[in-house]
Amino acid sequence: MPGLGSIPKNSGFVNQFPNFIRDDISVDKRIAKLLEKLPDAIADDIVPAIAEYLVNVYQIYPPKKKITRKQAFGRTFQSEKQRRYFFWALGKGIIRTPYKRTQQLRNAWRIVGSDRNAIVVNQTLYAEFVMGDEHEQSKMMNMIGWEHAGAVPALNKDKIDKIIVVEAKKAAKKLGLIIT
């Protein structure tokens, strides 16, 4: 997962939402090298455009895929206590089956900051278990097909490169420069 970038680890934002997913675009080594070579005024227009694109990509859910807890974890329940709670909660209507996607994860993606300090975040409490890095993501979510949030920029390299070119040309034009 990319680093914290412009949000210091001891900031109130991170302390308030310790489990949120963050993607600092300018920490991606490949993108950082490109941004270093550009004037600030141009780089400041590129990062928010990439962030906007990534928000749209992160919002795409993988197709539904039936994976049982037994397939993912080797057994349906981890303990007798968990099994009893499940059936109690099911009977009380706390847990509903079949599971329906709520779209909460999808709707929680946001861009925080501006210019080259723009980062993409998701404050949903369970986001790290669905799209976190390999140490955070649950085995079941991985088996269903959820990508690690930190891997998404590399998986979309070609599109991000096109965004960089388009936004660099737009920014240069605003400065009175012509890039061919």
Average pLDDT for consecutive 10-residue bins of the chain (180 residues)?
38 42 72 87 93 95 92 93 96 87 93 90 92 91 93 92 94 85
Looking at residue 86, what is its pLDDT? 94
CA distances from 41 to 45, 48, 76 (A): 7, 12, 55
Q: pTM of the entire structure?
A: 0.79
Looking at residue 3, what is its pLDDT? 36
State how far the Cα of 51 lies from the Cα of 91, in Å rounded to an integer. Answer: 43
